[in-house]
Amino acid sequence: MVPWRSSRTQGSSSGSTPGSMGPSSPPSDTSALSSGDDSGSDFEATLRPCGKRGRQQGPDQSHVRKCPRMTEPNGGCSSASTVSPEPNTLFEAIKSAKIAMETVVVDWLETYKRDRETGFLELINFIVCSCGCQGVVTPQMFRDLQNSEIIQQLTEQFKEDSSEYPLSLNTRPWRRFRDGFCELLTAVVQRCQYSIIYDEFLMGSLISFLISLTDSQVRAFRHTSTLAGRQHPWVAPLRHPMVGVPAPTSIVVVAMKVMSALVKVALGVSVQQENNLRQYEAERSKGPGRRATEKLEALMVKRRELREQQEEIENMMNAIFKGVFVHRYRDVVPDIRAICMEELGTWMKTYAASFLTDSYLKYIGWTLYDKQREVRLQCVKALQGLYGHRDTAANMELFTRRFKTRMVSMVLDKELSVAVEVVKLLTLMLENMGEALTDEDCQSVYPIVFVANRPLAAAAGIFLYRRLLDPQQGAGMDASYDRDNRAFFQVLLTFFIEIELHEHAAYLVDSLWDCAGPRLRDWETISALLLEESPAEGLGDQQEKALVEILAASVVQATEGQPPVGREPAKKPSSRERKAQMEERIRLTHCLIPALPKLLGKFSADADKAAPLLEVLCCFDLSIYCTGRLEKYLVLVLEQLEEVVQKHTEQTVLEAASRALHALCDPELALQRHGDRVRSRLADQLADKFNQEVTEMLQASSLDDEEAYSMAATLKRISILFNAHDLTRWQLFNPCTQLLQRAVDTGEVPPQVLVPTITCLYFHILWEVSSLPTTDVPEEQLQSLKTKVITTCSLSHSCLSDVDSGVREQVHRDLEGWEEMEPALMPGPSLCSQAFRVLSDLLLVLGPQLAEDGREELAPLVLRPDAELQSQLAAFLMDHVFYPTCNQEELLATENSESRIEELHQRRVLLAGFCKLIIYGVLELSAASDVFKHYTKFYSDYGDIIKETLSLTRQIDRQEWARTLLLSLQQLMTELLHQEGPNFRMTEAFPDIRDLARRFSLFFSLHKLRSRPLLVNIHKEGILFAFQKIPGSESELPPLNLPFLEVLSEFSPWVLGPDKALLLTYLDKVTQEQLGVLAPGDTGQWQSLVTYRNSLQPQDGGGTGASSRGAAPTPHPTKRRRLEAPPQAPDSSPRPSTHPSSPALTSTMLRGDPRPPQLSPRLLLSGSILSSPQQQLHDPAVQLGPPPEGVGRGGARGRAERRRGGRGGQGLPLGRL
């Protein structure tokens, strides 16, 4: 029989089959790699020539059938649609996974040897069944039909309602099946490599059938995420196999696996040819008397046989490559392109002699420009296998010259996983290709060590170490054997200083830790380099600073094992890793304890070097000072620490010294007395000096610059020490109070003095609160602490609210004169910002929860803010947080971006402090309107904070939360009316209010039944606000607040159908009561009313709500009857609103107006709980109709509606989101 038959369409031989596309436009200058034709011009001509296959004749020998494969009730020619097949033997064996693969293949080979048509059809039907098709290829179909006709009949056997497809299921049995599927194909080719694959039937027929499937126009075989989608985690989710996709992924995988198996067979034949040639040459080189002529002839016969086998295998591989790969490597489905690149890389590594040529490499080079992540990733991984060996890398010089620019640029790939693999690829090129990468190319990789992604930074660290930092330059010697790392640190310091890209050494150390960790842990060499005094061998000032930072970062990395702040957290260390960290901590402590006093003595005058050295002290195992009899070094370190505190006023060095002193004063430390002695001595000196300066200032009329500088420095040291140490016994509260009171009264105290003064008062109160006994608190102590709390809050309130006093003027006046005098003394936050922080923190610490959990005795200390304080806190947000200049564009456009980012961080801290007061019940929930109304305007700066506050406050009191949302919109509406007048609807700010309402409405979209009463109340109260009469307005004109109905229409899509009818009736009632009956011609002046009414109309045909942003169309006359609703119950009318007629404003311009009392004050911790949703539905204040069909119900109909994304009953589709 003749197995070859052409089933390809005419278009398939042109190189552009359906479903093929270029992944992206490859470079135009590809002439150097364009050798070889990939047009696919009748690739089957490369196989053995044959004519059209006729009816197959039975073989000469009698065949013994293994078993009846199928029943044919009609006899004769049976189509696939009339066959009732038995279970496929191969399919069941692979599915059960109970039979060894070798046994399955051997059994199939026996069947094939007895009857090759039966065995071949069993293999074909196994592939078809694995694709999810229920049809079977019968012997009659195989003999009489072309491949395209067979595929057409198989298509009819797909069940569109079937949900089970073997190669797409993700359960454990089917995952095993997918693995066995590929293993079976490979095993079949390997077992047949010596005879059967050359029988001119099996491989030819199989390849022809697979090529026909890959080029098929039939949709049934074009399901995407089957075998490849589950073998690779990066493939898209599953889709139904009847969905039309441009290429059959599973068949492509089968073809690629068969090709990979053939490549291995070809490699084996090539090895046999080399052995045969070597034997032949050895035999021929013998003398005439020793030469065996018969052996030479046998070797020649074997040589011709191997050459023929090689040619036939190459024909098979050529058929698959040109019939499948050339068309599928640019398929529109990314999964198929990725599979092709993965397998091509495997072929090149396996059989480099045939595939590692420019005619094949060009496909990988072109696909490096692909737009999909998984395709680029597979290309890079394929190149890693080629560049990873010197012998294969040597054959890629032309490819490297052509595509090196692209590979280097991919280190900045937007997909981090691709960038990581690219850096690893460049590292392999660096190791195996010598000078392939220039210095300019390497300069593109070096900065990657400072990125936030740790895997990418670690890969770049390895590249940097191999290229620049390794003194052995690839000699293979382990770093631990290099006893002198001076050269390493010299190069590292030069790189860190010259790159001028990042100031944090912690990122550089973390990037190099995996490859250069032993060198970075060479504490002896680092100490010796820092202590060198010789000008010739010593380090410069910049090098010393950089090396100190690297030392501190290495110590932290060795003892904690965590990446620096900003990088993703590392995994939890195992017990072995924790043990290694403890051992390293002990080792570095023994190494650095003798050197640290000398280092502090040398660099104590430089704050940039002293602060990191003090951080190193905090990482020591301090018990070694006692167990190692190293007490003298502890005394020396404490002396240097005391000197550092007395010398410096910088925030960073003082904070580091305070933390180090706190560690040395640990009560569990055996030598804790030394630390207590130094702390007491420092506190005595600072307290005496401060008391003396306060006395002089109170007696003098004013302070000169030198006196003010001295007092500010003293207070700054005290405030920073107060943060970690209890200094209450030095009685600093009264002097600080007198100083702050003098500033409030006269405004003569500089702001640099006032900021640390408020901080000292705050820490004094916190230390006293923490020292209170749990029970039986003395009354005198409680009253004294309460007096201090009231005094501190009063003074802070004065600093916060006294806007026009001389204090603010003196602040700005002193700031101008102090900028050049001492930058280190310039306070981070301003006076009012620090006062706001102190107030918000004290209100939170001394909130209602203080007197709970058996601490009722502390009830007198609970702070409850009055209306004036709440108004001042809200006004502070308007002045210092929500002001127009703080937007992202201006922040990025400013020259000093770091200061602007720090300023934004400070404002975020202030906003978070205010939001915590609301969440923890200190402030009323209605106070959140001052924050919620800025949600959209300042979304880029504070969107995450406000959104989290919205979510948390909703869990507290849903009804009050909904009223707060409405209050936010009403406040914005009133502000806009005061600013723009009656025509504010045409301004640019009005659409912003509607957009804010739309965002608020999304919080009601998920739980419609639970949000049902909330939405109804929002609409009813909003209607009353819209028709509210304003004194002085003309009665003939529409109400000034009427455009608020357009804002209210944004909530209409989430209102259920019966509630819309109720709201329409209520709207007509309010309209008649307030305005009377409108004539039809008057609707043109009431555009907002028309828009809102349309948004409440029942939806026909699944349309969306009418709350469009443009002008609403005039309603159709026939729809006027919809305004009439059935009679309502007597209690269906809404209760009179108890909310103020005009919402309270807290903006700066209206701050002087009295704030109306807020309704329904609720404290989070007071135990006030809202009634359940079931109780809300029976609230007589709101009569709600039954839920529409399909909303909030289970069953098949509800699930079907949710799957379609359509509406249930009268509800609107979720597609409006």
| Alpha-helix residue ranges (DSSP H) falling in 486-630 | 486-499, 505-520, 523-531, 541-560, 575-592, 595-603, 607-618, 624-627
Provide mean pLDDT across the span 108-130.
85
- Look at 216 and 517; give whichever has higher pLDDT: 517
Q: How confident is the model at residue 98 (pLDDT cuts 50, 70, 90)?
A: confident
Query: Are 1048 and 1092 spatial neighbours (Cβ–Cβ below 8 Å)?
Result: yes
How many CB atoms within 10 Å of residue 1144? 23
How many CB atoms within 10 Å of residue 1184? 18
Range of 93-102, 125-134, 364-373, 895-904 with top mean pLDDT: 364-373
Provide mean pLDDT across the span 630-642.
94
Q: How confident is the model at residue 773 (pLDDT cuts 50, 70, 90)?
A: confident
pLDDT tens-digit map of 970-1007: 999 999 998 888 888 888 889 999 999 999 999 998 88
Distance, in Å, from the CA atom of 788 to the CA atom of 959, rounded to the nearest integer, reads 38
Distance, in Å, from the CA atom of 1122 to the CA atom of 1061, rounded to the nearest integer, reads 8
CA distances from 809 to 757, 804, 813 (A): 19, 8, 6
Phi-psi region of 1060 (alpha: psi -120 to 50; beta: other; left: phi over 0): alpha
Distance, in Å, from the CA atom of 866 to the CA atom of 839, rounded to the nearest integer, reads 13
pLDDT tens-digit map of 1050-1064: 999 999 999 999 999
pLDDT of 17 strictly over 50: no
Q: Which amino acid is at 480?
A: S
Provide mean pLDDT across the span 39-49.
37
Report the pLDDT value the prediction gives residue 648, as an integer from 0 to 100: 93
Provide mean pLDDT across the span 657-665.
95
Report the pLDDT value the prediction gives residue 1124, as an integer from 0 to 100: 36
Structure tokens at 556: 């932290």
Report the pLDDT value the prediction gives residue 761, as an integer from 0 to 100: 95
Q: Report pTM.
A: 0.74
Q: How confident is the model at residue 807 (pLDDT cuts 50, 70, 90)?
A: very low
Q: Which of 338-342, 822-826, 996-1000, 1042-1046 has the lowest mean pLDDT?
A: 822-826
Report the pLDDT value the prediction gives residue 1040, as an integer from 0 to 100: 86
3-state secondary structure of 71: strand
pLDDT of 900 strictly over 60: yes
Provide mean pLDDT across the span 1025-1033.
77
For 1063-1132, what is the HEC assignment? HHHHHHHHHHHHHCCCCHHHHHHCHHHHHHHHHCCCCCCCCCCCCCCCCCCCCCHHHHHHHCCCCCCHHH
3-state secondary structure of 20: strand
Average pLDDT, the chain: 76
Distance linking the first and last C-alpha atoms of the chain: 63
Nearest 10 degrees: Cα torsion 131, 133, 139, 145? -90
Distance, in Å, from the CA atom of 848 to the CA atom of 352, rounded to the nearest integer, reads 76
- Look at 127 and 683; give whichever has higher pLDDT: 683
Distance, in Å, from the CA atom of 9 to the CA atom of 468, rounded to the nearest integer, reads 57
Query: Are 762 and 719 spatial neighbours (Cβ–Cβ below 8 Å)?
Result: no
Report the pLDDT value the prediction gives residue 213, as an integer from 0 to 100: 75
pLDDT of 1210 strictly over 60: no
pLDDT tens-digit map of 776-799: 888 999 999 999 999 999 999 988
Query: Are 1055 and 1022 spatial neighbours (Cβ–Cβ below 8 Å)?
Result: no
Q: How confident is the model at residue 616 (pLDDT cuts 50, 70, 90)?
A: very high
Per cent of the chain over pLDDT 70 is 72
Report the pLDDT value the prediction gives residue 602, as an integer from 0 to 100: 93
Distance, in Å, from the CA atom of 516 to the CA atom of 513, rounded to the nearest integer, reads 5
